[in-house]
Chain A
């Protein structure tokens, strides 16, 4: 590791309870953010920006939402794509019907809409847990997509059933090129990540973890299960909704409700599990992995077998790889890539002196 933590003691409560206790970590994170904000938009190609970086950031945000619910609060949910759809279509309608509304406000409101729906579908979590809850959230997944698909109002009565996302306008400036949209996404995602880190470290996050580890015990200690669980559902759906709206506005751009089907929910579930349950960085690692793996497989197959291979075979193979990864992670590292990273850093710290 690039610095050592040994022998460094905090001398005040405020320094001990800082969000990121070590100055080196703060500098590193700030450097990564600055690199993403000031270097990448000018150097990365349009393909990289709009094909990889933008969806990666959007899906990381959704995975973060799923991770809040699943990894921190311990409520298994299979409905994240439904909440994404709610956010995306809410944002479209705010922009469509209230033209004067600035884009960030629409985004915030669409997140709140998704949060309200999330609370509604989170109600069963007060009675049931684990698998039963997963089925209840499946109901939300199918129901939300059906409602948007069935009622033309949500799509402005478009005959094809596909909406075209409006341009992003903030303070009169139109963000239309990939680099501009990437900057918008990056700033919003960074802000919400910072917020999530705070929540995870603060009392809200500790309440979630208490409920996750043993809900009966948490209740016996005076924690309101009702509030904590619904709070987790609301915040998680808020993240999914904002992520879904960004995904629709900056990546998909022409959006149909079935784009948010159950398979997307499963992909987000995989991101969280492979990335690492109950970690912030896991959402980023997992979504990067799930997003890049198909691209790598494609390149690999084309390099090895040429163009003769059928695209359906590749996607079937991709499924097998996803499944095998999932099982392997469950067996060997249930805490995901975040833990592997942590272990590696831990080893590096003592590196020259211990194998």
Chain B
């Protein structure tokens, strides 16, 4: 094939796979938003908290397969504590209030993680090499990292599982009811406490998965929090309430960001990756505020 087209394809595939990693972070947001109409700004902090704790446990001498359940248990605890200490006192408050409370939560989690485990950058070795798959390269001349592919598969499995949870199970129905209205759901006997606890625990586990993949890619460090902010444009484009939308939007953001960096970036001296996704999101907001798959909101006075 023509080397230029090959290069284009390589950038595109790299972008798409990076986009899946954004989707994984965004998935945590959607999960909580769908279940409680709380926009959890702390999702990025949870990613950082989860993976830093995981690495911290491994540094204490725990084996990989022992550290994993311990961290999952910790994230479940964090979810339960969040429900008890932050959300329960704020039931039926306005969305903006809840959003600001989660910004506070983000600071608490970031601070706690750094106090417990220190601030230095850690390496995380998952045993998955971040190098191109040679057999695939031999076959097609396109270099794709194994880690990226694993991330894609993990994201795909998680999304499928969560989509089934939301659409097919009784719990999922309860979650959607709670999202519509806290008060109405409570009045027909849906146990708000348990539902929220469960959702936050699940979001914590999703955060751990995202954090491990990101950590293996770029080191476990505070910058993960900012990477997680990139999930915001993904959400805007995908629509806040759609699980498949998150995946599609993640792909769009990842691909457009990498393509823009490679093909438009040089004209400006590079670095446009930092804001290109946000600008894309702003454009989307102008023309389609509810996102690709979001529900259209009707506002009444």
Once A124-B286, A132-B236 are accepted as A-B contacts, the answer to whether A327 and B105 lie under 8 Å apart by CB is yes
Q: A139–B282 Cα gap in the complex (Å)? A: 7
A242 within 8 A of B: no
Once A131-B95, A139-B282, A316-B119 are accepted as A-B contacts, the answer to whether A220 and B289 lie under 8 Å apart by CB is no
B136 within 8 A of A: no
Pair A135/B236 contact, Cβ less than 8 Å: yes
Among residues of A, the one whose C-beta sits closest to the C-beta of B232 is A135
Residues of A within 8 A of B171 (CB): none
Residues of A within 8 A of B109 (CB): 323
Residues of B within 8 A of A23 (CB): none
Pair A142/B108 contact, Cβ less than 8 Å: no
Residues of B within 8 A of A321 (CB): 111
Residues of B within 8 A of A214 (CB): 301
Footprint of B on A, CB under 8 Å? 76, 123-124, 127-128, 130-132, 134-136, 138-139, 142-143, 146, 149-151, 214, 216-217, 220, 262, 266, 269, 273, 312-313, 316-327, 330-331, 334
CB contact list, B226-275 vs A, under 8 A: 226, 229, 232-233, 235-236, 268-269, 271-272, 274-275
Residues of A within 8 A of B39 (CB): 131
Inter-chain contact total with CB atoms closer than 8 Å: 131
Residue of A123, A146, A220, A266 near B275 (CB, 8 A) is A146
Pair B112/A320 contact, Cβ less than 8 Å: yes
Residues of B within 8 A of A323 (CB): 104-111
Q: A19–B96 Cα gap in the complex (Å)? A: 30
B278 within 8 A of A: yes
Residues of B within 8 A of A143 (CB): 275, 278-279
Pair B111/A138 contact, Cβ less than 8 Å: no
**In the complex, how many angstroms separate the beta carbon of B68 from the nearest chain A beta carbon?**
25
Pair B108/A139 contact, Cβ less than 8 Å: no
B185 within 8 A of A: no
Residue of A139, A266, A312, A320 near B281 (CB, 8 A) is A139
Footprint of A on B, CB under 8 Å? 39, 85-86, 89-90, 93, 95-97, 99-101, 103-112, 114-115, 118-119, 226, 229, 232-233, 235-236, 268-269, 271-272, 274-275, 278-279, 281-282, 285-286, 289, 299-301
Q: Which of B39, B101, B119, B279 gathers most chain A CB within 10 Å?
A: B101
Residues of A within 8 A of B115 (CB): 313, 316-317, 320
In order of increasing CB-CB distance, the 5 nearest A-B pairs are A326-B104, A323-B107, A319-B111, A139-B278, A323-B108
Main secondary structure of the interface of B (DSSP, over half): helix
**In the complex, how many angstroms separate the beta carbon of A209 from the nearest chain B beta carbon?**
15
Pair B107/A130 contact, Cβ less than 8 Å: no
**In the complex, how many angstroms separate the beta carbon of B108 from the nearest chain A beta carbon?**
4
**In the complex, how many angstroms separate the beta carbon of A266 from the nearest chain B beta carbon?**
7
Q: A228–B284 Cα gap in the complex (Å)? A: 23
Residues of B within 8 A of A139 (CB): 275, 278-279, 281-282
Residues of B within 8 A of A220 (CB): 301
Pair A128/B285 contact, Cβ less than 8 Å: yes
Residues of A within 8 A of B281 (CB): 135-136, 139
**In the complex, how many angstroms separate the beta carbon of B162 from the nearest chain A beta carbon?**
21
What are 25 A-B contacts with C-beta separation under 8 Å? A123-B286, A127-B285, A127-B286, A128-B289, A131-B39, A135-B232, A135-B278, A135-B285, A136-B278, A136-B282, A136-B285, A139-B278, A139-B279, A143-B275, A149-B271, A262-B229, A266-B103, A266-B107, A316-B119, A318-B111, A323-B105, A323-B111, A325-B104, A326-B104, A331-B89
